[in-house]
Structure 1
Amino acid sequence: MTKYRLNRLFNARSGRALDVAVDHGLFHEHSFISGIEDMAATVATLIEAGPDAIQLTLGQAPLLQSAPGPDKPRLVMRTDVANVYNDPLESPLHSIHVPDAIEVAVRLDAVAVCVNLLDLPGHPEVREQCIRSILALRRDAERYGMPLMIEPLVMQTKPGAGGYAVDGDTAKIVTLVRQARELGADLIKADPTDDIGDYHLVVQAAGPTPVLVRGGGRVDDRTLLERTRAVLEQGARGIVYGRNVIQHPDPAGITAALMAVVHDEASVDDALGLIGGTR
């Protein structure tokens, strides 16, 4: 079935999208909610900033969808919760999806749902849980015409710490992105590679499935914008950034800068000029 909802996610002129992820509170890690303690204020700020979409959980989505008017950002709904981001790690590790997530997403008028595909060293059972979730969600997503965004996350242990960090190894990312494609993803949300010049290989692995690039941890504005231009030039169809927007001193400014790069092919220097107090 054609996923008509995707017509509301991607900009008609550029064919690209900026999705701001604000689903961090779901994962029970205190450091993740820094800067988003007041979710009503955060969502109101983002609505005013005007990205293409905001990624929220079923509990926070009404903050966006209750806003009046037809021009607010679209909703991408997170459908699963995991404890793999905690430091120190809990035991046992898990990844669990909301059983009726697709029906909830339809009622909330989401344009897509998002689910993890986790690859953790020494814990293949977590990837199995993710695969089971994806297959269950995909069955309902097909029935309701809801686009399924799969988020392949290759992780590595943090040296000297108790948690996981992103692994930017190109071969590992390509392999997991390919699995997401094989599982029937309508969209793929993937990490940048350590060698950003390799990103065309990630896009190639996804085939015709649009790739949106994750933002990961906080970086300076120039690095973020340069990386954004680099992945777009290699075929990425957009970006899904969270902490680099919501923890920024000027969330509206960085959103404007990213939208200029994503939709208007703005240079990094021109985009930096849209940010107050550029770092």
Structure 2
Amino acid sequence: MTQYRLNRLFDARSGRALDVAVDHGAFHEHGFLAGIEDMPRTVETLVDAGPDAIQLTLGQAPLLQRIRGKRKPALVMRTDIANVYNSPLESPLHSVHVPDAIEEAVRLDAVAVCVNLLDLPGHPEIREQCIRSILALRSDAHRFGMPLMIEPLVMRIGDGAEGYSVDGDTEKIITLVRQARELGADLIKADPTDDISDYHRVVQAAADTPVLVRGGGRVDDRTLLERTEAVLAQGARGIVYGRNVIQHADPAGITAALMAVVHRDAPVDEALALIGGAR
């Protein structure tokens, strides 16, 4: 039954997807709110831009689903909340999930739900919390035919009192992606590796579970599009980008450029031409 919902996420011709993540407000970090202070306007802008999906929290999902018409982006719903990004770090750290998240996702007509699998140096208890959340969500997800997107995030300690940041070590990413597969992921949202030419190994670790590549922090347009082109060529089934879209001066233009690369394998220079004030 999960395939019925995935049919609405992945493009029928390319078999790929662009999911724009706008779930940053769940993580209680003020710096994450840049570009999404006005969520109704943000959602309207993204709907007009036309990605395959928009990733939202339980509280913000109605902003998308109340919009009329058949051609709006699908909903991917965030199901958990963590405080590992805060600067300065809070204590104790936590990662918790919404107990009735799957039923809420069904009521909100989501095509998938997303949950973290965090690997934090010095805090194995956080990964345990994530695993317990995944197993609980997986039980309900299977019952309701709701695809479960697991987001394996290998983190490194930030500087000073700053929160954790992404670790792009290939071996660490592969190991955590493999655990996500073992836990029964229907989709895997994984970071790009520091050496982008390694990404086929991440796809291999996921076996036949579709891998969508996480965008992370802001980069220039050419770097973003070239990286997207590289991971797709190595077997990724799509991308989940947030700040590189919602904090862009031209969200519609960068969305059009990414859709061109994802669905038409458009050359980077052709895609860049779709962005106003491309950089």
**Fold equivalence (TM over 0.5):** yes
* Contact 2:89–2:161 under 8 Å retained in 1: no
User: Which residue in 2 is equivalent to 1:184?
Assistant: 184
Please report how far the alpha carbon of residue 160 of structure 1 lies from its aligned counterpart in structure 2 after TM superposition: 3.6
Q: Which residue of 1 aligns with 2:73?
A: 73
Equivalent residue of 1:229, what SS?
helix
1:239 is paired with a residue whose SS is strand
Could you tell me how far apart the structure 2 residues matched to 1:31 and 1:221 are? 21
1: CA distance between counterparts of 2:161 and 2:143?
A: 43
2:101 aligns with: 101
Change (3 A) 1:2 1:38: closer
Pairing 1:190-229 to 2, within 5 Å after superposition: 190-229=190-229
Matched ranges for 1:36-185 at <5 A: 36-185=36-185
Is the CA contact (8 Å cut-off) linking 2:76 and 2:113 kept in structure 1?
A: yes
Cα distance in structure 2, aligned partners of 1:2 and 1:166: 30
Contact 2:2 2:146 (8 Å CA) reproduced: no
- Give the fraction of aligned pairs with identical amino acids, expressed as a percent: 84
User: How far apart are 1:161 and its partner, in Å?
Assistant: 4.3
Report what 1:6 is aligned to.
6
Query: CA offsets per residue over residues 54-74 of structure 1, 9 Å max, x none?
Result: 000010000000000000000
Please, what is the CA RMSD of the aligned residues? 0.7
Please give the secondary structure, in 2, of the residue aligned with 1:55. Answer: strand
- Structure 2 unpaired stretches of 5+: none
- For the residue of structure 2 that corresponds to 1:3, the secondary structure is helix
Q: How many residues of Structure 1 are paired with residues of Structure 2 in the alignment?
A: 279
Within 1, Cα distance between the matches of 2:112 and 2:173? 22
SS in 2 for 1:201: helix
Q: Structure 1: which 5+ runs fail to align?
A: none
Runs of 4+ in 1 over 4 A off after TM superposition: none
Q: Is the 8 A contact 2:27 2:83 kept in 1?
A: yes
CA spacing shift, 1:208–1:93, aligned 2, 3 Å: same
Counterpart CA distance in 2 for 1:273 and 1:94 is 43
CA distance in 1, matches of 2:88, 2:176: 25
How far apart are 1:22 and its partner, in Å? 0.1
> Offset at 1:4?
1.3
For residue 68 of structure 2, give the secondary structure of its aligned residue in structure 1. coil
- TM-score norm. by structure 2 comes to 0.99
How big is the shift at 1:158?
1.7
TM-score by length of 1: 0.99
Shift of 1:3: 2.9
Residue identity matched to 2:125: E
Query: Do the aligned partners of residues 266 and 138 (structure 1) sit closer, same or farther apart at CA in structure 2, a change above 3 Å counting?
Result: same
* Aligned counterparts of 2:89 and 2:158: Cα–Cα separation in 1: 11
Q: Following the alignment from structure 1 to structure 2, what is the Cα–Cα distance between the partners of residues 59 and 252?
A: 24
